[in-house]
């Protein structure tokens, strides 16, 4: 049977007065739910520069978690997660429209900033659902999911940013992208439009695999080789999460930073026949 351990941590950083990141998870309540529902991890980052980002990220994650708790038995994660991402998008979009319809010029965010009448709400999101011997990852924006296997770190998601698209088209190099003035300009987020397309992939997982979900407060300040080194050096997940957050703050702490670490202890090998899972011997 699939068995996991995990640690998660979010921090406002050193320069911001409030935290626009939000994290959450759903764990199965019984061995039967491990097989019928599985696990879900969710991380969202309220988009910097758009007011009420902390509200948007919380709405997005809470919408996803609520939807996952209500799923029918045995539903395929690969079709579920894009739907949950769209439901989160609708929740953020509707909340933003409600703010426009009933402006509150006196609203002050947790950092003491006065929010203008024209406030918009937007957020990134990355989701990871695990069941049997597979993980399904769905994301919108530049919050990432990595796979750490046998000491090596590999990104499973592509950032929805202007410069990342230019890198994939061969217009600029990764080194140029890292210093580009528009490296934080997102091309896809929750809440800006009524509909959003979430990129979704499925990966087979093995015992010992470690999945890392993080906001750009980590990967934007701590290079991938440094993240890999810390994951190789940490004794446990709680220590690893604390060290990753501390590294982001040591690099300046200019952004909120959030991490979720999920280690696979064991898996249940499964196959599919006509869309129905069966146990492999």
pLDDT value, residue 170: 75
**CA gap 91, 65 in Å, rounded:** 13
**CA gap 177, 195 in Å, rounded:** 28
pLDDT value, residue 24: 98
Among 222, 210, 209, 211, smallest CA distance to 257 is for 222
281 residues of the chain, pLDDT tens digit each: 899 999 999 999 998 878 999 999 999 999 999 989 999 999 999 985 555 888 999 999 999 999 999 998 889 999 999 999 999 999 999 988 876 665 554 344 333 333 344 457 899 999 999 999 999 999 999 999 999 999 999 999 999 988 877 777 777 777 766 666 667 788 899 998 999 999 999 999 999 999 999 999 999 999 999 999 999 998 899 999 999 999 999 998 889 999 999 999 999 886 665 556 666 65
At 187 the three-state DSSP class reads coil
Name 30's Cβ contacts closer than 8 Å, sequence gap at least 6: none
pLDDT value, residue 275: 56
Token pair of 63 as six digits: 């919408």
pTM of the model: 0.88
Rounded to 5 degrees, what angle do the CA atoms 259, 263, 74 make? 100
Among 83, 90, 46, smallest CA distance to 194 is for 90
């Amino acid at each position: 049977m699939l068995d996991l351990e995990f640690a998660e941590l979010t921090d406002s950083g050193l320069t911001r007065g409030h935290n626009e990141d939000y994290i959450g998870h759903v764990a199965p309540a019984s061995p039967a739910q491990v097989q019928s529902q599985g696990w879900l991890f969710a991380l969202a980052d309220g988009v910097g520069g758009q007011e009420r980002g902390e509200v948007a990220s919380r709405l997005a994650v809470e919408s996803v978690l609520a939807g996952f708790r209500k799923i029918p038995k045995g539903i395929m994660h690969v079709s579920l997660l894009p739907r949950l991402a769209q439901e989160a998008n609708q929740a953020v979009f509707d909340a933003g429209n409600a703010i426009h319809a009933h402006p509150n010029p006196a609203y002050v965010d947790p950092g003491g900033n006065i929010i203008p009448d024209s406030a918009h709400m937007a957020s990134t999101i990355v989701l990871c659902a695990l069941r049997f011997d597979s993980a399904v990852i769905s994301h919108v924006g530049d919050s990432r999911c990595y796979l750490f296997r046998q000491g090596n770190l590999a990104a499973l998601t592509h950032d929805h940013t202007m410069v990342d698209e230019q890198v994939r088209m061969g217009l600029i190099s990764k080194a140029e992208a890292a210093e580009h003035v528009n490296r934080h300009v997102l091309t896809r987020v929750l809440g800006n439009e009524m509909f959003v397309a979430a990129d979704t992939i499925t990966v087979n997982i093995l015992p010992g695999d470690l999945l890392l979900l993080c906001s750009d407060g980590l990967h934007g300040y701590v290079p991938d080789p440094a993240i890999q080194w810390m994951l190789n050096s940490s004794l446990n997940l709680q220590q690893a999460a604390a060290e990753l957050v501390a590294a982001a703050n040591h690099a300046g702490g200019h952004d909120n930073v959030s991490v979720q670490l999920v280690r696979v202890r064991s898996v249940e090998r499964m196959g599919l026949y006509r869309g129905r899972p069966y146990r492999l011997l």
